[in-house]
Structure 1
Amino acid sequence: MKLLVRFFVVVLGTTLLLGGCGYRNPYVYSGPEKSIYVTTWKNRTSELQLDADIYQALIRWFQKSGSISITKQKEGADLILAGEIISYNLPSLTYGANNAASTVKLRLRVRYILKELSTDKVLIEQSSEEWIEDFRVSSDSALTRDNGDRALETIIENMAQKIYQRSLVQISKLP
């Protein structure tokens, strides 16, 4: 019984503390309605579908906010998010027996901009941002390819989340 009471007190205390300290969920924008036009990024690499994968990840993140709508038309949008995939590299990182690579660093370099269309005000301008994820190389080429695909998915998801969160901070400052 004492354990149940303690649990209740901890839950109640945490609720009151978080409710009164100005905590806000960084994944939710609850300000005035805004529409954002997200472009398909220019892909300067030979990696097929990379632009589409980034676009889909960004859309998934922006759909989390009830006050931000995604539009497929630039006309009428409040904001535009555009970007470019600058490079995609797989330089070897470490070597094992027989001088064969055992770990590879996948490097993705991008640039992007978030702009308010009515005022042409730049809210975010990232001229070069590099994302790196290690993955294991195997003697089985299919396994190596799967590891590389997972590393790229991790980069794309983390990047989309960061862009989304940075965007929410800037959008919340708008009138």
Structure 2
Amino acid sequence: MRAIMCMAVLLALAGCGYRSLGSGKASALQPSAKTISIGTLKNRTLRPTIHPALKDALIRRFAADGRIRVVEAGGDVILDGAIEGFGEDPLAFSSSDQAKRVRLSISFSFTVKNGLEDKVLLRDGVAGVAYYFTGSGVTSTRAAEDEATLRAVADLADQVVSRVLDGV
């Protein structure tokens, strides 16, 4: 009986879909794509700090994955996009109807083009989400919001890289 249970667990783990970071190939792109350039990123929000944070997060995330190399210009593929929206939704309130927990979301639409032919390979959109608790004053609430913004940008970059490299 114990052997059967061990075998069942091993079979279940064998099919769990685990893969190590940076393995495989860039399957959502053409097989010849070895480099990517981050092209034009537009910011259609009133939050100017999101734009540089997103570009840095995308570069770091592609580099961490390791399947495709980020280059300044002239990449095999080019990622262009626009930060479409920034929203905050209060989720929990204090007894005096002050927001205490907030969901922050950033929406981003992007296209990936073949660098040589200017042909669109992928057109998609994602939303990065993070949560934060408001503080007792403006300064602490602003600090929590800024930190949540960076987490939402990182979430957004993770989703973009997954869509570009894995097609998911």
Q: TM-score, normalised by structure 2?
A: 0.75
Percent identical among aligned pairs is 27
Does 2:79 correspond to 1:81?
yes
Residues 126, 159 of structure 2: 8 Å contact kept: no
Correspondent of 2:146 among 144, 149, 163: 149
Give the drift of 1:120. Answer: 3.9
| Count of residues in correspondence between the two structures | 153
With a CA cutoff of 8 Å and minimum separation of 6, indicate the structure with the bigger relative contact order.
2
Return 5+ residue gaps in structure 1 as ranges.
Answer: 1-9, 171-175
Q: Which residue of 2 aligns with 1:169?
A: 166
- Which piece of structure 1 moves more, 95-104 or 43-52? 95-104
1:160 aligns with 2:157: yes
Letter in 2 for 1:118: L
Question: In structure 1, what residue type is equivalent to 2:88?
Answer: L
Q: Name 2:22's counterpart in structure 1.
A: 27
Aligned to 1:118: 116
Higher Cα Rg: structure 1 or 2?
Answer: 1
Alignment-mate amino acid for residue 20 of structure 2: N
Does the CA contact (< 8 Å) of 1:39 and 1:81 recur in 2?
A: yes
- Compare 53-62 and 23-32 and name the one that shifted more: 23-32
Alpha carbons 1:41, 1:85 under 8 Å: kept: yes
Amino acid at match of 2:59: I
Supply the distance in 2 between the matched residues of 1:104 and 1:114 (Cα, whole angstroms).
Answer: 32
Provide the rounded CA distance (Å) in 2 between the counterparts of 1:72 and 1:113.
17
Give the residue type in structure 1 aligned to 2:144: N
- For residues 164 and 157 of structure 1, do their structure 2 counterparts lie closer, same or farther at Cα, with a shift above 3 Å needed? same
Residue 119 of structure 1: how far off its partner (Å): 4.1
Per the alignment, in what secondary structure is the counterpart of residue 96 of structure 2? helix
Question: Which residue in 2 is equivalent to 1:173?
Answer: none
Query: Is the contact between residue 109 and residue 130 of structure 1 (CA under 8 Å) also seen in structure 2?
Result: yes
Match of 1:57 in 2: 57
